[in-house]
Every structure is written in structure tokens, then in C-alpha cells.
Amino acid sequence: MSDVRFDDRVVIITGAGNGLGKSHALEFAKRGAKVVVNDLGGSAHGEGASKNSADLVVDEIIAAGGEAVASYNSVTDGEKIVQTAIDNFGRIDIVVNNAGILRDKSFSKMTDADWNLVYQVHVEGAYKVTHAAWPHMKENNYGRIIFTASAAGIYGNFGQANYSMAKLGLYSLGQTLSIEGKKNNICVNSIAPIAGSRMTETILPPALIEQLKPEYVTPLVIKLCDENNTDTGSLFEVGAGWIGKLRWERSKGHGFNITNGFNAEDVNEHWETINNFTDADHPSNTQEAMMAVMSNLGNK
Ligand SMILES: NC(=O)c1ccc[n+]([C@@H]2O[C@H](COP(=O)([O-])OP(=O)(O)OC[C@H]3O[C@@H](n4cnc5c(N)ncnc54)[C@H](O)[C@@H]3O)[C@@H](O)[C@H]2O)c1
């Protein structure tokens, strides 16, 4: 197979000053992309701002012979980040929504500020950047978009109500965009990574942080952003050199006779069947999912 190249492609990577975003930025540049290295340069909890982290990554790319420009805006000013791409490189082909912060607290201690800031950076930020890039992609009949979800969003995690809400929200945003983008060759996928970074250094032991290299996540992002990639609307868990795909699974369920009516006791009686995943379905779109439900209207 030929090498994955991004010559003449322009990529925006948000939160590219550190961790995963930095790893993605360096690899895209190595493969010929013109990179907008976006980073607000604040703390892992969303405080402050600095040009330093984006500048260092841009310097590293340029020193290696690549092309890159820094963008210091918050993702909540997504249109300015996209404008940076247009002003410097004239187009936008790929958006990797990666910027993120944490405000971990148990739900009872969570403040509105913790909830809102996490929502703003992850969800509103990814929306703003992607929404500003979308018309350019439609016009070019080409686009590749990545949303960075999280296992915390898929499975939940103590102390991360705000973060898990935001992370699975990104996945569902990506699901709808994958449908809307199909006719314009815009592929939209989500990843739930695990990597050693400043974000995980307070949760994971140092030895593990050292081993879980962000570079083990980047190859999947590169593959999904390749122009030959046709995968869209997918969600992958990725980390430690392992990659797997997720999908929805739904039990066969039980259809009640709607002429006779049914009550909570009837639901109790069939609870085991409702919860039984033997021969489960894997609906991949709303139509498929609705069909099994609606067919019970004939159960009279
Ligand atoms: N590291 C993991 O194990 C892990 C697991 C699941 C999800 N993620 C997600 O991966 C992404 C990258 O995380 P990381 O581990 O590399 O963390 P990181 O803290 O190393 O990098 C995140 C970057 O985003 C930047 N950023 C924060 N707010 C911003 C804003 N408003 N505008 C622009 N940039 C902003 C930060 O300055 C930082 O450089 C995040 O979305 C995170 O939620 C990471």
C-alpha cells in the first residue's frame, strides 16, 4: 500500500500544543500537510493562556522542514482558527477536534462553572471550529473530521459528569455530521484515546504515563484523515498500541400485545428476555433502529 500523504492538504489541530494534539500535528506535518497548530496555552483546568506551547510545536515542525502556523485562539472562537487556515494556506481539508480540559468533581460538588467550562471547551469549541470549516469543506467536496471522545463518555466515570457528558456529546455530533457530510465526501469519525499527558498525569502512575505514548494514538487519526479513507460515523477506542471499534448492541427485546395492553408486572415477567443479548441486533442507523420498534405496532 502506498504511504499516506497530505501534500497540499491543510489541517487544523486544536489543542496541538501538548499531548495528543502535538503528536498529531508533528505526524501530519511529516506527511506533507500544512498545519494550523491551535492552542490557547492554558492549564489543564482551563485557566490562563499563553502563546508558548503552540509556538514550540510550530518551531519544531518548521525546523524539520514542514509547514505550520500557530493559532492562539480558544476553540470557542472557532471561526478565527478557520480564518487563520484560510489566510495562511487558502483552504481547509481536515479538522482534528482535540482541545480539552478537565474540571473533575463528584456531581454533588460540581459548580455551574465546572459544568459550563467543560461544555464550552469540548462541545461548543468543537462545534464552532467544525461549523466554520464545514462550508469550505462542502465547497471543496472534501473533508475529514475527527472528534476526540473518551472512555469516560462511553462508560461514565466517577467525578467526570461534566466531561463524560461533553465527550459522548461530541460522538453524537459526529454521528449526525457523518450523515450530513456523506454527499460531499466529508468523513467524520470519533476516537476515545488513552495516553500519557498532563491531563492524565494526576490520575495514572508515572511509569504508565511514560509507556502510554500519544504517538500510539496518532496513526489511527492519520488513517481516518487519509483521502482514501471512506470510513465515516465510526467510534474507535485507541491506546497503548491497541485499536478497536465500538458499535451499539441491542437485545432482541420483547414485543407486548398492544391490543391487550401491558403493565409493569408484564415487563417484570419478560425482564430476562429484555436484558438478554443472545442474537442481539446492531442497529447502525435510526431507520434500522426504528424498524424493530415500529413492527410491534402489528402485535395486536
Ligand atoms: N490523555 C488521555 O488519556 C485522554 C483520554 C480521553 C480523552 N482525551 C482527550 O484527548 C484530548 C487531548 O488531551 P491530552 O491528554 O493530549 O491533554 P493535554 O492537556 O496534553 O492537551 C490538551 C490541549 O488543549 C489545549 N486547550 C485547552 N483548552 C483550549 C481551548 N479553549 N482552545 C484551544 N486549546 C485549548 C491545552 O492548552 C492543551 O495543550 C482532549 O480532548 C482530551 O479530553 C485524552
Are residue 205 and residue 251 in the same domain, yes or no? no
Q: Residue 44 Cα, ligand 1 centroid: separation in angstroms?
A: 7
Which cell goes with 59?
A: 518551531
Instruction: Write out the residue range of the structural domain in which residue 277 sits.
Output: 247-300
pLDDT value, residue 300: 86
72 in catalytic set:
no
CATH code assigned at 292: 1.10.287.4290
**Contacts of range 162-166, beta carbons closer than 8 Å, 24 or more positions apart:** 162/103, 162/110, 162/114, 162/115, 162/118, 162/119, 163/102, 163/103, 163/104, 163/118, 163/122, 165/118, 165/119, 166/118, 166/119, 166/121, 166/122, 166/123
pLDDT value, residue 136: 98
Are residue 186 and residue 211 in the same domain, yes or no? yes
pLDDT value, residue 51: 87
Ligand 1 cavity residues, CB under 6 Å:
14-15, 17-21, 38-42, 44, 46, 53, 74-76, 98-101, 121, 125, 148, 150, 193-195, 197-200
CATH code assigned at 21: 3.40.50.720
Are residue 276 and residue 237 in the same domain, yes or no? no
List per-residue pLDDT tens for the chain, 300 residues long.
Answer: 789 999 999 999 999 999 999 999 999 999 999 999 999 999 999 999 888 999 999 999 999 999 999 999 999 999 999 999 999 999 999 999 999 999 999 999 999 999 999 999 999 999 999 999 999 999 999 999 999 999 999 999 999 999 999 999 999 999 999 999 999 999 999 999 999 999 999 889 999 999 999 999 999 999 999 999 999 999 999 999 999 999 999 999 999 999 999 999 999 999 999 999 999 999 999 999 999 899 999 988
Q: CA torsion, points 99, 105, 110, 116, in degrees to nearest 10? A: 0
Q: Residue 269 Cα, ligand 1 centroid: separation in angstroms?
A: 47
Q: Residue 89 Cα, ligand 1 centroid: separation in angstroms?
A: 25
pLDDT value, residue 272: 98
Q: Which three-class secondary structure state does DSSP give residue 269?
A: helix
Number of domains forming the structure of the chain? 2
Pocket test for ligand 1, best of 51, 55, 198, 199 (most atoms within 8 A of CB): 199
Q: Is 4 inside any structural domain?
A: no
Range list of β-strands (E), the chain = 10-13, 34-38, 67-71, 94-97, 143-148, 186-194, 235-239, 242-246
Are residue 268 and residue 173 in the same domain, yes or no? no
The Cβ of residue 182 has, within 10 Å, a number of other Cβ atoms equal to 13
Residue 105 CB partners (closer than 8 Å, separation 6+): 111, 114, 159
Residue 39 CB partners (closer than 8 Å, separation 6+): 14, 15, 16, 17, 18, 21, 53, 54, 57, 70, 71, 72, 99
Catalytic residue among 72, 127, 142, 163: 163
pLDDT value, residue 292: 84
pLDDT value, residue 202: 85
What whole-number distance in Å separates Cα of residue 160 and Cα of residue 258?
40
What whole-number distance in Å separates Cα of residue 123 and Cα of residue 102?
13
